[in-house]
Amino acid sequence: MRIADNLNAIKTGLPSHVTLVAVSKTKPVSDLMEAYDAGQRIFGENKIQEMAEKYEAMPKDIEWHMIGHVQTNKVKFMAPFVALIHGVDSLKLLEEINKQAKKNNRIIDCLLQVHIAEEETKFGLNEKELAELLTSETLKSLRSIRITGLMGMATFTDNPAQIRKEFLFLKSLFDHFRPLDAENCRLNILSMGMSGDYQTAIECGSTMVRIGSSIFGGR
């Protein structure tokens, strides 16, 4: 019961306002079921195909979160069931999610991913692009999506001051844009923190942590 033990140890340490997404990418359904049987109902995956297969195979009271980069042409495969898409970083992608949500008679919740790390390779909007997207006229017309928060990933470094600085920057953007209050845009969720840095993220204001290896083991 190693997975259940890991899960329980992490859950015990989380403040009640912080939601745990169990990141199960690359892990077999039997591992996810061990977490499920220990009470976990929110799982995060980074590949749409893999998430859809696990969705088919597992109980239907699970919330599936897409935490990876999303290709526009694959949105349709998760639109019937996905609960939250963390990595949205363009209006074009939002328009496609809106279209597929409408086809499925759903409203799909999305987080906007902000680039806060030093590495060039990570996806996400910069501060200016975030402001433009949140205030765009096109966004107002998208009635089948809802922007419910922001997501970010800190630089992969063992310098805690750097990580803290990046999380605090994302928190400041979150606070800045929180007064926006449209039917389809209301920021309540701040998704930041992974196995190595989630405690720092919570100290900096995270309300949702995405934890994989500390629950399921290395990949």
Q: How far is the CB of 58 from ligand PLP (least distance, A)?
A: 19
Q: Which is nearer to ligand PLP, 80 or 196 (CB)?
A: 196
Q: How far is the CB of 192 from ligand PLP (least distance, A)?
A: 9
Q: Which is nearer to ligand PLP, 106 or 123 (CB)?
A: 123
Residues in the site for ligand PLP, rule: CB under 6 A? 23, 25, 46, 67-68, 153, 194-196, 210-214
**What is the distance between the alpha carbons of residues 118 and 114, in angstroms, rounded to a whole number?**
12
Give the residue at shortest CB distance from ligand PLP: 212
In 10 A of CB 13, how many CB atoms?
11
Q: How far is the CB of 177 from ligand PLP (least distance, A)?
A: 21
Q: How far is the CB of 76 from ligand PLP (least distance, A)?
A: 22
Amino acid in the structure at residue 202? I
Q: Which is nearer to ligand PLP, 65 or 184 (CB)?
A: 65
Amino acid in the structure at residue 128? K
Asked whether the beta carbons of 26 and 219 are under 8 A apart, the reply is yes
Q: Which is nearer to ligand PLP, 117 or 139 (CB)?
A: 117
Q: Is 21 left (phi over 0), alpha (psi -120 to 50) or beta?
A: beta
3-state helix, strand, coil in the chain (%, to 5): 40, 20, 35
Q: Which is nearer to ligand PLP, 66 or 101 (CB)?
A: 66
Asked whether the beta carbons of 85 and 101 are under 8 A apart, the reply is no
Q: How far is the CB of 77 from ligand PLP (least distance, A)?
A: 18
Q: How far is the CB of 201 from ligand PLP (least distance, A)?
A: 11
78 burial via Cβ count (<10 Å: 0-12, 13-18, 19+): buried
Q: Which is nearer to ligand PLP, 142 or 190 (CB)?
A: 190
**What is the distance between the alpha carbons of residues 69 and 58, in angstroms, rounded to a whole number?**
23
**What is the distance between the alpha carbons of residues 154 and 171, in angstroms, rounded to a whole number?**
12
**What is the distance between the alpha carbons of residues 211 and 194, in angstroms, rounded to a whole number?**
5
